[in-house]
Structure 1
Amino acid sequence: MFSQGQLYFAGFFIVIFTIAMIYVYRKDLPLHKKYYKGSYWILLAFLTFIAMLFVVKILTKNIS
């Protein structure tokens, strides 16, 4: 399906991209703490909403 070179490139890209993203996030961490206070509550609310949608889907599937 993929050549050996393509697989090496994909693996190399994933490793380098992950390292770069960690480096950039660590560099911007003080700004994140300053400007995005309380953003975990928004994430928690979003994940709770998605979980509630799955619960409703499962409950309505069992009814019919």
Structure 2
Amino acid sequence: TMLIQGQAMDHVAMSDFVTSLTRQPDIENVRIVSSRLNRGGQVKLVDFSLEIIVVGNIGRV
């Protein structure tokens, strides 16, 4: 299991990112742990956290 934290321009962009992850052959599942609109500053961004279940050896050190 991997945890990814990031930011996106909006919830649609975050959803597109999640969809692209689910299409990867080495990724078994993606779960959105949290997402919230960050209104600080002039640019509004979506802060998010994802839990990813990986199969095979990808992402292992």
The TM-score, its normalising length taken from structure 1, stands at: 0.24
Structure with the larger RCO, 1 or 2 (CA within 8 Å, 6+ apart): 2
Q: Which has the larger strand fraction?
A: 2
Query: Bigger radius of gyration, 1 or 2?
Result: 1
The TM-score, its normalising length taken from structure 2, stands at: 0.24
